[in-house]
Amino acid sequence: MHNATHERVAAIRQWLVQHNIDALLVPHEDEYLGEYVPAHNERLHWLTGFTGSAGAAVITQEKAAIFVDGRYTVQVTKQVPAELFEYRHLIEEPALDWLKANLPRGASVAINPRMHNATWLSNAQSKLADVLQLKILEENPIDQLWHDRPAPIVSDVRLMPAEAVGQSCASKREEIAQLVNQSGADSAVITALDSICWLLNVRGLDVSRLPVLLSHAILHHDGSVEYFLDPARLPSEFAAHVGQGVTVYHPEQLADRLQALSGKKVLVDPATSNAWFKLVLQNAGAEVISAADPCLMPKAAKNAVEIAGMKACHVRDGVAMSMFLCWLDAEVAAGHLHDEATLADKLEAIRREDPTLKDLSFDTISAAGSNAAMCHYNHENQPKPGQLQMDTLYLVDSGGQYLDGTTDITRTIAIGNPSAEMIKQFTLALKGHIGVASARFPKGTRGYQIDTLARQHLWAEGFDYDHGTGHGVGHFLSVHEGPASISKRQIDVPLVAGMVLSNEPGYYRADAFGIRIENLELVVEQPTQGDFPVLAFESLTRCPIDKRNINVDMLTDAELNWLNDYHQKVWHALSSLVDSDVKAWLSAATQPLVRN
């Protein structure tokens, strides 16, 4: 692989010389700016050999650097040749800072505007002003040099009937068009893949782990939509499915249709759309209104049909998890200490027994012992997977994309006898989890106001965890859905009834162990005797929390009651759906925990 990397860097340098450009910036993102990048768009991997999910590279005529965050500092040294690339920290020394330090004043830096959002481009232009020239490319040189590029996955287009999603496409288009009108725009460019699929009630499998179609859409103030997807892919029932007012164009016609918006006010989300859209619209004489994707809030607030689907798939997912955890306990008891890959494959095989499962919702995090201290660990990026060892913890974070919903669950499992320190830290994280799960809060509350509930018990002992407490989850869509979250970041989005968010406090001790306890929570209205209703969380996940990791003396009566009540809900939901062996395991796992 390293030989190929040498050749590819040399080819880019030759391109730089031919075009009289001093540097090329290559981000991990593709033109859709989604969390997951399909194989045919993994340009950073093609150039450098790096397989991580975040990063960037810079190639100059003499030097090169790759920028990764703390998750990938070890991995990058194994995958990217040190004789070619300097290793840099993405946050501590961003690529633009490195370029300013390593290029002479007035040097040119080429970027493809499709690989960056509009906010990034405007920041870059101001950051490099009077120091370096930013050269906006029409074509991506990697696309010209990538001769063995994999073909895009062309998946079947799945039409989601209104009875499966709760609202017709025509009704959604009318609703979103009203929001576009309220913003003062004539049209909105919709670029987030999950927003487009939600709006048109379609799904696909063009991207691994994300049930979407690689497409774009323009929604007009009258509710009509221009949809950019190869028409040959669409089933004959598509026109009847979406209703009148949806015109399908080949993706090659996108630029022409954007230019046709000359003189119009066009809403574009600067966070989710790539900068190319804004540049094309401005050059065409359109007025760009920078505002949030109008689909985000309606998509996040699930309707009754979506909520019913989410509840149903979480029961089936809980059956799969319980089958896996029952098997795991039996294997450990028999002295069979498997490796992380075997465990992840076993869990996936059990989930795939459900015919409604269409994909996993993300790559399973299967982390034994000290590997779990890396909160985004991936055993596939290691020279060899880690192995279970007695008297440690095993962390498994996994989920499924089902026809009726999306799941995401983390359980931390005792392998043998965990230490007193492991039990203490698990219990502190559990107290935070329960604090969020039992929260009551007024309408208008933001996620960052709830985040403290998850961390307070860890903070009191001088501990914390370096990730958010919760992210939104879609309905058979993205497992990481905006715009709401629960984290320290002060995101100004209220939690509203119907949203589904994860609740996943944890604790990570480097080179020792890692803990995370994750359920998905539905935001619901809670009747009160006071002057106004409040919101609360209803746990959707149905799977036992490992009682072997809990110090019951650290729990208050209210926390203990919550745990026992949760386990009773798990038992009632799953016990009639599993075989006798799993039922016996489930009975023991959900027995009430009592004080000594």
The class of domain 301-590 in CATH terms is alpha beta
Query: CATH number of the domain at 1-145, please?
Result: 3.40.350.10
First to last CA, the chain: 59
Q: For the chain, what are the domain ranges?
A: 1-145, 158-299, 301-590
Query: So what's the pLDDT on residue 369?
Result: 97
Contacts of 469 (CB under 8 A, 6+ apart): 432, 436, 447, 450, 451, 454, 455, 486, 487, 502, 503, 504, 505
* Distance, CA of 148 to CA of 69 (rounded, Å): 29
Query: So what's the pLDDT on residue 75?
Result: 85
Contacts of 519 (CB under 8 A, 6+ apart): 409, 433, 437, 502, 503, 504, 539, 540, 541
- For 271-321, the pLDDT digits (tens) are 999 999 999 999 999 999 999 999 999 999 999 999 999 999 999 999 999
Query: What mean pLDDT is reported for the chain?
Result: 96
* Distance, CA of 250 to CA of 75 (rounded, Å): 40
Query: If we measure between CA atoms, which residue out of 45, 50, 59 comes closest to residue 13?
Result: 59
Query: So what's the pLDDT on residue 109?
Result: 97
Query: So what's the pLDDT on residue 74?
Result: 81
Asked which of 69-73, 396-400, 519-523 is least confident by mean pLDDT, the reply is 69-73
Q: Helices (H) and strands (E) in the chain — how many of each? A: 19, 28
pLDDT of residue 2 exceeding 90, the answer is no
pLDDT of residue 28 exceeding 90, the answer is yes
- Please determine whether the domains at 158-299 and 301-590 fall in the same fold group of CATH: no
The pLDDT of 51-76, averaged and rounded, is: 92
The pLDDT of 108-132, averaged and rounded, is: 94
The pTM score is: 0.95
Amino acid, res. 388: L
- For 190-204, the pLDDT digits (tens) are 999 999 999 999 999
Neighbours of 318 (CB within 10 A): 23
Band (377; pLDDT cuts 50, 70, 90): confident
Query: CATH number of the domain at 158-299, please?
Result: 3.40.350.10
Band (1; pLDDT cuts 50, 70, 90): low
pLDDT of residue 399 exceeding 70, the answer is yes
Query: So what's the pLDDT on residue 69?
Result: 87
Q: What is the DSSP letter of 117?
A: B
How far is the CA of 281 from the CAs of 115, 263, 285, 544, in angstroms? 17, 9, 6, 52
Query: So what's the pLDDT on residue 73?
Result: 84
Helix, strand, or coil here: 56?
strand
Q: Is the dihedral of CA 343, 54, 36, 539 positive or negative?
A: positive
| Bridge partner residues of 289 (DSSP) | 267
How far is the CA of 385 from the CAs of 344, 412, 414, 484, 589, in angstroms? 11, 18, 19, 34, 28
pLDDT of residue 434 exceeding 90, the answer is yes
Share of the chain above pLDDT 90, in %: 94
